[in-house]
């Protein structure tokens, strides 16, 4: 089990752009002064697989979903998904108070770094997926 830290808080923004707001008709039983708004969900993230990540250009920002399957050394880990694996660097500042095990699914956001014959992702954010 990897014990580090962090929790994400979802911010509620009542001033969402008009493109994601749609006014709904009021039900017959609703008071006239009540306004109803439907917030359209954001589009799916553009996810990158571990296999795709390894061949992308240097410094490409990406989001990956999978598992941290092995601790390699200090802040280096092996990230795996259905396509394969790629090394990732996760610092203590990124881990914060997050605790995960080999069985937990995670989403990571980071930047690809290519040096010589090695490609790895420097993780900027990690979230445990329930």
- Tell me the pLDDT tens digit for each residue of 46-90: 899 999 998 999 999 999 999 999 999 999 999 999 999 999 999
Which is higher by pLDDT, 6 or 121? 121
| This prediction's pTM | 0.66
Cα torsion angle, 83, 89, 94, 100, sign: positive
Nearest alpha-carbon partner for 90 in 104, 105, 72: 72
* CATH (residue range 44-129): 2.40.50.200
Domain boundaries, the chain: 44-129
Helical spans, DSSP H, in the chain: 50-53, 92-95
Tell me how far apart the terminal alpha carbons of the chain are, to the nearest angstrom. 16
Question: Quick one: pLDDT band at residue 42, thresholds 50, 70, 90?
Answer: low
Question: Quick one: pLDDT band at residue 20, thresholds 50, 70, 90?
Answer: very low
């Amino acid at each position: 089990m990897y014990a580090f830290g962090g929790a994400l808080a979802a911010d509620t923004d009542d001033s969402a752009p008009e493109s994601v707001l749609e006014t709904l008709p009021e039900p017959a039983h609703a008071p006239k002064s009540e306004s109803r708004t439907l917030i359209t969900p954001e589009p799916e993230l553009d996810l990158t697989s571990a296999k795709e990540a390894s061949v992308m250009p240097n410094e490409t920002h990406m989001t990956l979903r999978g598992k941290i399957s092995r601790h390699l050394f200090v802040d280096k880990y092996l990230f795996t998904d259905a396509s394969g694996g790629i090394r990732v660097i996760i610092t203590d500042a990124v881990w914060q108070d997050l605790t995960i095990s080999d069985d937990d699914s995670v989403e990571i956001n980071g930047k690809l770094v290519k040096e010589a014959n090695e490609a790895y992702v420097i993780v900027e954010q990690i979230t445990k997926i329930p």
